[in-house]
Amino acid sequence: MTTANVYQQRPDSGAKAESSLHQANLAGLIGKGRKNPGVTVREKKLLGHLTLRGDAKDPAFAEGVHKALGLELPVALSLVAKDDTSLQWMGPDEWLLIVPGGQEFAVEQALRAALAGLHISVVNVSGGQQLLELSGPKVREVLMKSTSYDVHPDNFPVGKAVGTVFAKSQLVIRHTGEDTWELLIRRSFSDYWWLWLQDAAAEYGLSVEA
């Protein structure tokens, strides 16, 4: 058994945190654009992102996760959510946990305590990725322009999440509601995806929501 050093990675010195789309000034675009747009985008910024690895076949691991999070381990290509916390299957022994900003340190400690003695890994990856939420009646059409993955309702129901090629790069698409989707994007590609979304949604109307 090894002992992991767990650090609080959020600065407490008054340093200002900025999202990867800070320079795009999305806040300045709120309320502008076409009325009744087909697509609305909301930046879900500065959340806590943790990767969790362990043996899904071990009942002790599943029980420990449930004890710490109140969530069941999701099966392949799916996610589960409770309030503002979600847990997504990423592979046979890997999951992505997203929690409200500022809670990732406490959640990591809770996971390590609940899974003590098991062969696990918990890594804070908050600084490398973020979520964009897309909602509206034309989101599916925008997705059809952007990815070769079949987003038809029969193949991509609510609760499904997949990593796929999107606009000549890669990200994760999460179907969280009937007309609501999330894009899990890498920080370094944020500008590229924002420019792509503006172009792909132009014919339907695109608005920005706080």
- Give the model confidence (pLDDT) of 73-109 as tens digits: 999 999 999 999 999 999 999 999 999 999 999 999 9
Tell me the per-residue pLDDT of 150-206, one tens digit each, with 9 for 90 and over.
999 999 999 999 999 999 999 999 999 999 999 999 999 999 999 999 999 999 999
Cα–chain center distance at 80: 12
Whole-angstrom Cα distance, residue 52 to residue 96? 6
Q: By residue range, what is the domain housing residue 62?
A: 48-124
Predicted pLDDT of residue 1: 40
What is the number of alpha carbons within 13 Å of residue 159 lying toward its C-beta?
7
Q: Do 155 and 191 belong to one domain? A: yes
Cβ neighbours, 10 Å, residue 82: 11
Which of 94, 124, 154 is where one domain is finished? Answer: 124
How far the first Cα of the chain sits from its last, in Å, is: 45
Domain count along the chain: 2
Q: How many helices (H) and strands (E) does the chain have?
A: 4, 11
What confidence score (pLDDT) does residue 3 get? 63
**Residue 71 placed within a domain:** yes
Per-residue model confidence (pLDDT) at position 33: 80
User: What percent of the chain is predicted at pLDDT more than 90?
Assistant: 88
Same domain, 162 and 204: yes
pLDDT at 2 over 90: no
How far is residue 70's CA from residue 120's CA, in Å, rounded to a whole number?
18
Give the position of tokens 């918990």.
122
pLDDT at 210 over 80: yes
Predicted pLDDT of residue 175: 98
